[in-house]
Amino acid sequence: MGVRRPGITRGYEEMQGANVATVNVAIAGHTTPIATHNHHQVPPQTGAMAQEFEMASVSVVPDDTFTVTQAVNALGFGWFQVKLSLCVGLCWMADSMEMTILSVLGPALHCDWGVTRYQQALTTTIVFLGMMLSSTFWGQLSDRYGRKPALTLCGVLLFLYGLLSAVAPSFGWLLLLRGLVGFAIGCVPQSVTLYAEFLPTKQRAKCVVLLDCFWALGACFEVALALAVAPRLGWRWLLGLSAAPLFVFAVITPWLPESARYNVACGQNDKALSTLEQIAHDNKKPMLLGRLVVEGTATPRGSIRALLSTSLRRTTLLLWFIWMSCAFCYYGLVLMSTELFSGDRKPVVAGDIEDCHPLSTDDYLDLLWTTLAEFPGIFATIAVMEKWGRKKTMAFQFILYGGCVLLLTSTKDRIALTMILFLARGVIAGLFQAAYVYTPEVYPTALRSVGVGGCSALARLGAMATPYVAQVLLQNSVWSAVSVYGVFAISASVACLLLPYETRGTDMVQ
């Protein structure tokens, strides 16, 4: 494998039947065949001057080959990855805003429409139901037709349904539209798949975890937007304005690159080569010299059954439980924060608007502080993961999270409560991103999207159940609610240690 000089064409082999003659030239003690585009045989008595002329006018046919992994590692991290980081980060920011709004939408709907606790929980559950039902659909769509078309369709649908939610005439229509928002959000994890496939091995874990900065930024922006908009204009304006980043993402998705790994797996080597050349151009690095080949064995694209094959069954089942626990614990903590800060422990009945307790300015500020915890959680996860590896990092973070939520029963002081929630939020946010790093690394290219999609579907199952713990069970017993989260966290910690593969420092499987 060498480096292609600027100006060298991408032709690697001569066409069969071409009228091409070759001459053996001695270079550094070796005899190298040189192709000459001449209709006459080169006479043996050709002088050194003519031979130099022939060598200058023809191209050497390389014997070297390279894979997408080798090309991505050789071209390094540069302007191409920076642009992709911003595009994918915007997708994550929009997703985060749609998720964060769930924690403030319930109390607002109770004050406006008099919905019960169970209906508030249903407002959250319906979003995650749509995400769960669509996760494998988007994964199969991405593996069969490409990451880019799936994300483009996702951006358009997400903006449309998010905007329509703001004008829902009734609670039933709102549930339907929020469910469709969840259906579109199910594609968002595929942006991580696309992003990870363009990252060099050494930078992959750091960059994927740093994506959570955009998630945290979106969550903080949504809380600040709710503070500014909800008390004055109401929840409809909040939903409408929250769809703005979705519109921007829908506009830029046509300019996203298609995965070079996906193109090679589909036999579209020319498209993959064009993408790699674009990376070389943007990163100002010379393109590799050689023929692009596929590494590894062929795997059925988009096959859910292949995820449960003998070699992947244990990994898949454990990851499904880990992802379900991640979502159950993360969104549970987000919803519990609102409930604990509001201090409302009275059962809510339908139509009892007099019992309305809208979030105050102090409540929003405390939510903002706990959300900011995701930033130090991200950087701490990067440092620990590079030293301990993915499995041990996730196992330790689950244990730490379990300890934090159990401490919630030990105090009613608002400052102490905020500090505990701050620590727990940082830990679980970093943990979720560590799972996003590990999962694309452990699956081959042909199964990567459907693998991430399957894990995302199980995560949504956990997220669907968590409102009934964080918003319903918590009203009756704080101890019972946090005990549920503690049990899930400890069980998931054991599952992390049982994973068969550690992927730190390894190339992504083709």
State whether 265 and 314 are in the same domain: no
Residue 17 located in a structural domain: no
110 CB-near residues (< 8 Å, 6+ apart): 116, 120, 348, 353, 356
Q: How far is CA 177 from CA 60, 185, 251, 496, in A?
A: 60, 12, 22, 36
User: So what's the pLDDT on residue 413?
Assistant: 83
In this structure, is residue 130 part of a structural domain? yes
Which residues are CB-contacts of 328 (< 8 A; sequence separation ≥ 6)? 462, 463, 465, 466, 485, 488
CA quadruple 301, 305, 310, 311: dihedral sign: positive
- The two structure tokens encoding residue 248: 């921007």
Domain boundary at 237, 264, 294, which? 294
- Say how many domains are in the chain: 2
74 and 206 inside one domain:
yes
25 part of a folded domain: no
The closest alpha carbon to 366, from 346, 336, 344, belongs to 336
Assess whether 421 and 483 both reside in one domain. yes
* CA separation for the pair 389, 442 (Å, rounded): 13
In tens digits, what is the pLDDT along the chain, a chain of 510 residues? 555 444 444 433 333 334 444 444 444 444 444 444 444 444 444 444 444 444 444 333 345 788 888 888 888 888 998 999 998 888 888 888 888 888 888 878 888 888 887 888 888 889 888 888 887 788 778 878 888 888 889 889 989 998 999 999 999 999 999 999 989 888 887 888 788 888 888 887 778 777 778 888 988 899 889 888 888 888 899 998 988 888 888 888 888 888 888 888 788 888 888 889 989 999 898 888 878 777 655 555 556 777 888 888 999 999 999 999 999 999 899 888 877 876 544 444 444 444 666 777 887 888 888 888 888 888 888 888 888 888 999 999 999 999 999 998 888 788 888 899 999 999 998 898 888 888 888 888 778 778 887 888 888 888 888 888 988 888 888 899 999 999 999 999 999 999 988 877 676 555
Residue 409 DSSP one-character state: G
Alpha carbon distance 506, 42 (integer Å): 50
Tell whether 252 and 218 lie within a shared domain: yes
Q: Which of 239, 260, 294 is a domain's end point?
A: 294
- Say whether both 329 and 249 belong to one domain: no
Q: Using alpha carbons, list the distances in angstroms from residue 255 to 76, 80, 88, 270, 467.
A: 21, 12, 12, 18, 37
What span, in angstroms and rounded, lies between the C-alpha atoms of 87 and 191?
A: 9
Kindly state whether residues 491 and 374 are assigned to the same domain: yes
162, part of any domain: yes
Shared domain for 261 and 406, answered yes or no, is no
Q: Are 223 and 318 members of one domain?
A: no
Note down the domain range covering 199.
Answer: 62-294
Is the residue at 18 inside a domain?
no
Q: What is the mean pLDDT of the chain?
A: 79
CATH number reported for the structural domain that contains residue 174 in this entry = 1.20.1250.20
Say whether both 178 and 310 belong to one domain.
no
Claim to verify: residue 281 and residue 323 sit in the same structural domain: no
**262 and 329, same structural domain?**
no
325 and 263 part of one domain: no
Give a yes or no: residue 234 inside a domain.
Answer: yes
